[in-house]
Structure 1
Amino acid sequence: MSNNNLQDSGVKLLCHGLENMKCRLEILRLSDCSITEEGYKALASALRSNPSHLIELDLTGNDPGQSGVKELSDLLQDPNCQLKTLRLNDCGLTDKSCSALATVLGSDTSLKELNMSNNNLQDSGVKLLCHGLENMKCHLEILRLSDCSITEEGYKALASALRSNPSHLIELDLTGNDPGQSGVKELSDLLQDPNCQLKTLRFLGPAADEACQYVTGIVGKNPLLLRELNLSGHKLGDTRVNLITVLLQDKHCQLNTLIFQPS
């Protein structure tokens, strides 16, 4: 029902069905439906009444306010709640919203995927989330924090938290944030931790990310940490050359010298 002007009044009507014990709905998408904290409160109340069916809730583009975030956090900590995926991207969240969600991450919940992209969390908010991530009760597998105004300080906090509790997260999206050189180094060191289970790490655009992974695979080092890159002896082809060109244009790339043999 995304992209409809349901408002809080419409959500409250839906909640009469959600709280009915005959309801077995597993996925509910209500992105951009003009829902405010009043609607969040109604949803949380309905799902506490009948918590065992819903596994995915998308509230992208709706502003919960502080009380709405607290309502969701309390719901997620209900031992009967089965929510595995929660999307709160572009919801007007700030660093203050992260305290309650950090409590959720540090609890024994069913939550596996949390999307908080396109919110002004900043480094201070990320540091709060890290208190939950480093808790051994945290079993979150996917965390999306693209375009959240995170700098190298936030990257350092994330890397530290994931070194403390490295075995749960398999995907981390930091696209659109600026790690600086020290942030890139923190992520690189984290990936070399033998206990780190990250399979997908995004902080570059798609083409630059593909080029970075390709170069890392053939030279054994992250090109973002190098000043000189020698690709002699590797047949790149036009496609790879174009990808590497995109990588060289990325603000995170500090290469001064590139050596390769044109095909």
Structure 2
Amino acid sequence: MESSDAQRSRDGSQKRSAIDLIMNQIRRKTSFTERRQKPVGFLFRPGENNDRKNGGIPEMKESDNSEGKNTESENTDSVDTEVGSVVGWGRVKQFVEKLGKKPDSQTLSLSHCDLTATDVLELATLLTFLTQLEELDLSWNDLVGGSLKALTFHLQHVGKLRGLRLCGCRLTAQDLTALGESLDSVPLLEIVDLSWNAGVGGAGLRSLTSQLRYGCMIRELRLVDCQLTDADIKALGQALPLMTNLEDLDLSCNRIATGGVRELFSSLNAAHGLRSLTLHMCGLEQDDLCILGEALQFFPTLQRLDLSANKGASGGLAKMTKSLAQMTHLSGLDIHLCCLTEEDAIALVQVIPSLSALKELDVSSNKKIGDCLQSLLSVLPLPVTRRLLLNNCGLSADSYQALGSAVPSLSQLERLNVSWSKSVGGNLKLLLGGLPCTSCKLQDLRLSSCDLTTEDVLHLASASKRGVLSQVKRLDLSYNGGVGDSGWVALFGEGAGGLRALEELDVSLRPSSSPPPASPWLPALLEAVATLPSLAHVALQHWVLRQDERDKLENIMSKKRHAGM
């Protein structure tokens, strides 16, 4: 029988902690290294060894002892560093998982985590263990505002940081000052997103931009809805010459006065590498577009221009087409909801032939486009067009016919939106018939409020069976109350097999005092939801579902969510 001492020894070895195992491994490596070291005499030629014996070369005993001490010190430091790293990463994991997120040494996303000031302070102390961190997202945590300095003080530990997102954090001017003072600690920072922080406006932005250095690496700057004032725009304009690497600037939802527009655009000529400029809902007017047109000559590399939701700019597009025609690299143009006039629409048709690289065009919510769509389609580079958004454009029967005729040429089309176009109802076959069966790249199809009929949805089911919709991820069929039960049964039954990539489905109805029941076709939908691997969102608003039917749908969706975790 084994002795009690042997038994206790084996039990003790089984209970050793992870730290003990790590220390043991390090000791074994150290011992192995020491065993491999050769005697000092082997480093000398025989003659030199003899000289040592004869006293010609004095023995360096003090030096040897000192070297041994240094080796021992280095090994101890290495052990401390490795063990500290293991313990530190354990603290990081515990902190991140406590917030319901997954730890990642390179990308840390803590958005919507209800972080407190204490959490921010704890995160700051953990940065020393995140030396490989490249992306940090703390967006939509209200209490980050006012406590950011505790974090920025430790940014020197994450010198590889490339992206910092602080959207909706209620940042204060003091936060921005602290962020500006820490910019030297993160020299590789490329992405700064401070959107939806009202505190950025009102001289807060200057606290940040005044700390920028010439040639800084910032490539993407987003300041959406920051309540920027004329003084802020001026400060930004003065900082733009320093940001020589700037490629993407987003100032959406900040009302920019004409004076600010002139200040901004006159400074943008220093941003020679600018590729994307977004001025969505900035209150631009006709004169502002004229100023922008003059500045466009300095943007030879501009690839995306967004002037959407600037209703006051109506009539201004016609005044900047001469400059717009020089933008030969422009691949995306968004001018939706700009109240384009007939003159604007004609000017657009004239300038499109010069935009040979154009792949994305959004002219939605401009009624005048419907009158000239046929002319517009005749000049668009259809074979390379990827996104075509024509929703709420007042498409007539003739313009819809022109679109149907153009579809076979749209071989690279990924997104098509013709929602709120009544001319589609009863004629969906015209649109679907031109799509290729095997090589269709369509990923997003939106047909909301198109007066679709049962026959239209039957054609959609047939197209799905042929493989036309095999790449579609988002399908919007909402607000089409004229579709009968047989149409939905066909789409979610025999047509579901052709929707393998579907992620989002919307078949909601308009609010009604007497909404119809979904029972006749819901079993087909439930079976489709269960079998379609990527489907994660289903909208059925204003349909009547029994409680047991709701429970079944929720149960299926819950299982899919857990399976995807």
TM-score range, shorter chain: 0.7 to 0.9
Deviations 1:57-84 (A, max 9, x none): 11111122444222332344x1362111
Percent identity over the alignment?
28
Matches within 5 A, 1:166-181: 166-178=299-311, 179-181=313-315
Q: What number of residue pairs does the alignment pair up?
A: 236
2:377 to 197, 218, 230: 218
1:201 aligned to 2:333?
yes
The whole-number CA distance in structure 2 between the counterparts of 1:208 and 1:81 is: 37
The whole-number CA distance in structure 2 between the counterparts of 1:69 and 1:233 is: 47
Matches within 5 A, 1:91-170: 91-107=226-242, 109-135=244-270, 138-163=272-297, 165-170=298-303
Residue of structure 2 in register with 1:13 after alignment: 150
Residue of structure 2 in register with 1:249 after alignment: none
Question: Which has the larger share of helix?
Answer: 2
3-state SS in 2 of match to 1:172: strand
State the 1:199 CA deviation. 2.0
3-state SS in 2 of match to 1:143: strand
In structure 2, relative to structure 1, the CA distance for the partners of 1:151 and 1:101 (3 Å cut) is: same
Conserved in 2, the CA contact under 8 Å of 1:65 and 1:93?
yes
The whole-number CA distance in structure 2 between the counterparts of 1:120 and 1:108 is: 23
The whole-number CA distance in structure 1 between the counterparts of 2:180 and 2:166 is: 14
2:217 to 48, 68, 82: 82
State the 1:139 CA deviation. 2.4
1:60 aligned to 2:195?
yes
TM score, norm. by length of structure 1:
0.75
Please provide the CA RMSD for this pair: 3.6
1:34 to 164, 170, 173: 170
The whole-number CA distance in structure 2 between the counterparts of 1:41 and 1:86 is: 17
In structure 2, relative to structure 1, the CA distance for the partners of 1:86 and 1:17 (3 Å cut) is: same
State the 1:188 CA deviation. 2.8
State the 1:86 CA deviation. 1.2
Residue of structure 2 in register with 1:192 after alignment: 325
* Pair member with larger Rg: 2
3-state SS in 1 of match to 2:189: coil
TM score, norm. by length of structure 2:
0.37
Moved segments of 4+, more than 4 Å: 209-217, 229-235
State the 1:244 CA deviation. 9.6
* Structure 1 portions without partners, runs of 5+: 222-228, 247-262
1:2 to 139, 151, 154: 139
* Structure 2 portions without partners, runs of 5+: 1-137, 338-361, 381-395, 408-416, 422-429, 431-565
The whole-number CA distance in structure 2 between the counterparts of 1:232 and 1:32 is: 43
Name the aligned partner's letter for residue 403 of structure 2: L
